[in-house]
Amino acid sequence: MRRAHTVDQVRAAEAALMATLPEGTLMQRAAAGLAYAVIDFLGGAYGRRVCLLVGSGDNGGDALYAGALLARRGSSVEAWLLSERAHPAGVAALRAAGGRVTTPDSRGHNRRFDVVVDGIVGIGGKPGLRDQAAAAVGALAGVPVVAVDTPSGVDVDTGETPGAHVTADLTVTFGTHKICHLADPAAAACGAVQLVDIGLAPYLPASPVESLQAADVAALLPRPARDAQKYARGVVGLRVGSATYPGAALLSVAGADTGLVGMVRYVGSAADTVRQHHPEVVGPGRVQAWVVGSGGGEHAGEELAAALGDAVPLVVDADALAHVIGPLPVPAVLTPHAGELAGMLRADRAEIEARPLEFARAAAREYAAVVLLKGRRTVIARPDGTARVNTTGTPWLATAGAGDVLGGLVGALLAAGLDPYDAASVGAWLHGAAATYAAQDGPLVASEVARAIPAVIRGLPGR
C-alpha cells in the first residue's frame, strides 16, 4: 500500500524521530537520499552541472547538503539563494565542497545546467510561488527538475495547484508520501516520485489517503473456494443500456463478465444483442449486486428504483446518477465523472477538476456512499473522508465506453463479496492496469480493456 500523510502527521512523526537522534541526522539522511537520486537521474555525477534553487526552509537545507555531496563527486554545483534566511550550515557545507553560492539571475540559463534541484518551499509552505522564485524557475525553463519532497508551490495536503508552481520530472520525498504525490492536479506536477526511507515509518499514524499496489489488489481479490459453485461465487445483475445506447449494455456486461463472479444477469432492452456477444449471460433472477445507469437514457430512473427494490448493494453510473437525490437505502458506489458530479453537487465542473479530492469527499458525505470520481487519477472516497487514489492507467483509456466497462467490473466485485470501498478501489486498479496491458503504449477501445482483465489478474503477485 502506498500511504500518503498530511503535513501535520509528518511533522509530528519527524519530531518524535528527531528526539531519538543526534541533531542534524535527519537532514543528512534526506540530503544523502536526494543526492543519490540526482546521480541516478543524471546517470552520474562527475562533470554534471547542477543548479540549486534554495529557499529558507529545511528543503533548502536538504538541497544544499545534497549539492555539497554532488560537488565532492565532481559535479559543478551552483546555488541560487532565494532567501536571506537560507540554511547557514548548508550554505557553508556547499562552499566548503567547492560549490558556488549566488543570487538568482533572471536571464535564461537553460543551456548552462543539466538539472535544477527545487528546494524553494518546504511542505509547510503556502501554495504558489513568490515573484522572485517564479522568475528564477522561468529563467531555467527547459532544464529537467528534481523536486525536494514536493514541487514548490503545490498544496501538499489537498493536491491542488491554485497558483504558480514547479513542475518536476522527478520528486524525491522522505519518510512517506504526501497527499500531493497521489492526488491530481498536483500529482501531475510531481513527475516520477521516489521515496527515501529516513526511519519515519514507526512514528506515522494511519494515513487519510492511500493507493493500492498490485500486492494489495491480489490480497483483496475474491478467490473461489475449492468447493465453489456458481451461486456461491456471486451473481451480478445489470440494468443498463437502451434502444438509443445498446453499446453501453454490451460494454457494461463485458466489464462484469470477466470470470470474477459465478453468474451475470442482464435485464434490459438490449437482451438479444447481449446474448449474441455473451451467451453465458442469463436473464432476470436473484442477484447479490446491481449495476444501473450506463446508457440508460430516460428509463434510468425506473431501473434504479427497480434495483433498489431488491435491497442489495449497487453501482450507480451515468444516467442514473441524476436520479440520486440523497443517501440510498443500500450500500452503493456512485461513479461520476467531473461533469456528472457538478450536477450532483451543484458545483462548477472546472472547480471539481481543480479540487477532485475535496469534491469526491464532499459527495461521499452528502450521499452517504462510496464515490468513485473518474479522472486521470481516479479518487475513491468514503463518507468518513478516507480516500484512495488510483494510479494505474494510460491516457489511451480516455475513450468512449471505458466507464461502462468500469461500472460492470465494480458491480461484479460487489457481487463477489467485496465491500463498496474495496470493490471500487480494486475495480479502478484493474481497469487502469488492463488498459495499460491492452494498449501497449498505443490506442485501444473500451472492449479491449474488458478482454484484458483476466490476463491482468493472472499476472498479479501470488496468483
Nearest Cα to 65, choosing from 177, 181, 156, 174?
A: 174
Residue 29 CA to residue 14 CA, distance in Å, equals 12
All three cell numbers of 191, joined, read 513527475
Q: Which CATH superfamily is domain 2-210 in?
A: YjeF N-terminal domain (3.40.50.10260)
Round to whole Å and give the CA distance between 318 and 407: 9
Name 235's Cβ contacts closer than 8 Å, sequence gap at least 6. 261, 262, 263, 264, 265, 285, 286, 287, 288, 415
Q: In whole angstroms, how far apart are CA 217 and each of 212, 413, 463? A: 7, 12, 11
Per residue in 391-411, pLDDT tens? 999 999 999 999 999 999 999
SS3 244: coil
Task: Note the pLDDT of residue 273.
Answer: 93
Helix crossing, 25-42 with 58-72: angle to 10°? 60
CATH superfamily of 214-458: Ribokinase (3.40.1190.20)
Q: Which pLDDT score is estimated for 106? A: 57
Write the pLDDT tens digit of every residue in 228-239. Answer: 889 999 999 999
Name the one residue in this structure whose C-alpha cell is 440510498: 328
Residue 213: exposure state from Cβ atoms within 10 A (0-12, 13-18, ≥19): middle
Structural domain boundaries of the chain? Answer: 2-210, 214-458
Q: Smallest Cα–Cα separation from 267: which of 334, 314, 330?
A: 314
pLDDT at 227: 85
pLDDT under 50: residue ranges of the chain: none
Calculated CA dihedral for residues 275, 222, 416, 440, nearest 10 degrees:
-40
CA dist., res. 124 & res. 4, Å (int) = 15
DSSP state of 126: P
